[in-house]
Amino acid sequence: MKFESQVVHAGDRKRNFPAAVPSTTPINLGTTFFHESADTLDRIFGHELEGLSYARYSSPTNEALEELTTVIEHGHGSLACASGMAALQIAFQAALTDRPKRVVASSAIYGATIKMLDQVLAPLGVETRYIDACDLAAVERAITEHEPGVVFLESISNPLLRVAEIDKVGTLAHKAGACFLVDSTFATPMLLKPLELGANIVVHSATKYLAGHGDVLGGIVVSDADHHETVRTLSRIVGPVLGPFESYLTMRGIKTLAVRFERQCANACKLASWLSTHPAVERVHYPGDPNHPDAATIRRLFAANLFGAMVSFEIQGADRAAVMRFLDRLKMIVPGTSLGDVHSLVLYPVMASHRDVAPKMRERLGIRENLVRVSVGIEAVEDVIADLDQALQGG
C-alpha cells in the first residue's frame, strides 16, 4: 500500500474476536491480562510466546499504534512513549547499552535535548561533542577523534531548519561502529524515512505532526532489528509507556497525516514566499528556498514537492521586547510552545525551545533575539498571512 493508505489502515481491525471486528482500534484500559492456563502466562513471561501479561510490557491499543508507526517508518518495531523526550532518552540508553559512552551530536537541535545530554546523560558518564552536522568533513573528524557510541542529529534542525546529508552521516557512523539516531519530528515519514537512509533508531515527538491536534503528549521510538529488543527491554523495566487513550488519539491523528501535512506544506511554501517580500522581515529560513544552504541535499532526500511545514524568520531590527509585542498582537495564530497542530503556532526560541541554551551558544548557532518560528497549520493561508501582517505592522 502507498503511504496515504498505510496511515489509514495499518494496525487497525485486529481479529481478536470470534464474530465482530471493530472498524477502528478500541481503547483497552486493562493493565493486567490472564490466560486459560498458568503455563501459557509463564511462557509469555519467558518470551517463548507472544502475548499480553502487564500493560507496562504491552497493551492492545499501544500495539496497534506501534504497528502503524513501524509500517509508515519502514522499521522493525516501535515503542509508544509518554513524551517525545522520554522516547529520546530510551533511544539513547538503548544505543549506548553496549557501546562507548560517547555521543557526537549536531549542535543545531532542540534545547531540551541539549539539556538531556548535558544534565541527565553527562552525570552518568556520557560525553557529548557537538558539531555542525551539515559540515560532513567536521562530522568525520569528530567521529574519528571522539570514537562515539552514538551519532545524533535532527532530520530538520530546530529552529533554523538545516538539513544534513543524513545518508552520508549514517555511513560514517556505521563505519565507526556507532548507532545512528535521528529525531525526525519536523520531517514526518512523509518527507523522508531515516531508517532507509542509514539510521538505526528514529524518534518522533508524537505530540506534534503524528497526533496533530494539540491534545496528546507522546513519543515514538522506531528501531531496526538490532536495537528493537533492547528498546523494549528498557521499556519493560523503566515503564515510560504511553497511555491507551493517548495511543488511540495518536493513531486517529495519524489517519489524517497525509492530507494534513500536504496542506501544511503547501501553506508553508506560500507563507515563506510572502515573508521574503515583507519589509519588516530581515531573513526567512525555509527548506523550500532555492537559496537554502542545504538545497542540494533537500532536493536529493525529500519527497518530491514537499519541504515541511515549518518556517522561521527574523524580524527587522527587533529585540526581545519588540518580539514579545509582536506575539501579543497575534489574533488567530497561537503563540504557543509546540508545533505540528492543525492550527498555526508561533514560537519564540529565545523564550521557549532554546531558553536554557547559553546566550553565546545561541549566537553561535544563529538563534538571534529577533528570530521566531512558525508551525503552519491547515487554515486558509490568506488568514495566516493577514494575521502575521497586522502583527508585524504593529496591529
183 is catalytic: yes
C-alpha grid cell for residue 342? 492543525
The one catalytic residue in 14, 43, 56, 129 is 56
Query: Counting Cβ atoms within 10 Å, is residue 298 exposed (0-12), middle (13-18) or buried (19+)?
Result: buried
**For residue 210, is it left (φ>0), alpha (ψ between -120 and 50) or beta?**
alpha
CA atoms within 13 A of residue 251's CA, in its CB half-sphere:
28
Asked if omega into 159 is within 30° of 0 (cis), the reply is yes
Q: Which of 248, 242, 313, 306 is nearest to 275 (CA)?
A: 313
How would DSSP label each residue in 277-329? Answer: T-TTEEEEE-TT-TT-TTHHHHHHHSPTT---SEEEEEETT--HHHHHHHHHH
Q: Is 208 annotated as catalytic?
A: yes
* CB 28 within 8 Å of CB 276: no
Quick count: other Cβ atoms within 10 Å of Cβ 78? Answer: 27
104 Cβ partners below 8 Å, 6+ apart?
128, 129, 131, 139, 142, 143, 146, 148, 150, 151, 152, 178
Q: Which of 57, 102, 162, 183 is catalytic?
A: 183
Identify the residue whose cell numbers are 531515516.
194
Cell 488568514 locates to: 383
Q: Rounded distance, CA 329 to CA 85, Å?
A: 31
Cα(85)–Cα(59) distance, integer angstroms: 21
For residue 294, how far is the Cα from the chain centroid?
20
Q: For residue 281, give the C-alpha cell.
A: 522581515
| Catalytic residue list contains 286 | no
Which residues, 6 or more positions from 75, have their beta carbon under 8 angstroms from its beta carbon? 69, 195, 202, 222, 223, 224, 228
In single-letter form, the type of residue at position 286 comes to Y
Radius of gyration over alpha carbons of the chain, in Å? 21
**What are phi and psi for residue 127, nearest 5 degrees?**
-100, 130
- For cell 539516531, the residue is 181
126 vs 344: CA distance, rounded Å: 37
- Residues annotated as part of the active site: 56, 110, 183, 208
